[in-house]
Amino acid sequence: MITVRIFLRNGTVLPDIKCREFTLGRSNITGGITSYNIKGIEGPKPLHIDCNEIVAVYTMHRDEVDHG
């Protein structure tokens, strides 16, 4: 299980996504994020994330997540 944090251009950090697998699609020309795929999600599920607004994606394994 991994935890994914998504940071948006406007400074918003989306709620953590807990899932089995998270992959990003990228443009071969610009390198920008064009799509995402989430498998085995637990808890709240994002309905839509505008890929043009994503500036960073950070993944953490279970032992790295802050439980405090």
Share of the chain above pLDDT 70, in %: 90
Boundaries of every domain in the chain: 2-64
Is pTM beyond 0.95? Reply is no
Residue 53 region, left (φ>0) first, then alpha (ψ -120 to 50), else beta? alpha
Q: Is 17 exposed, middle or buried (0-12, 13-18, 19+ CB in 10 A)?
A: buried
pLDDT per position as a tens digit, 19-32 = 999 999 999 999 88
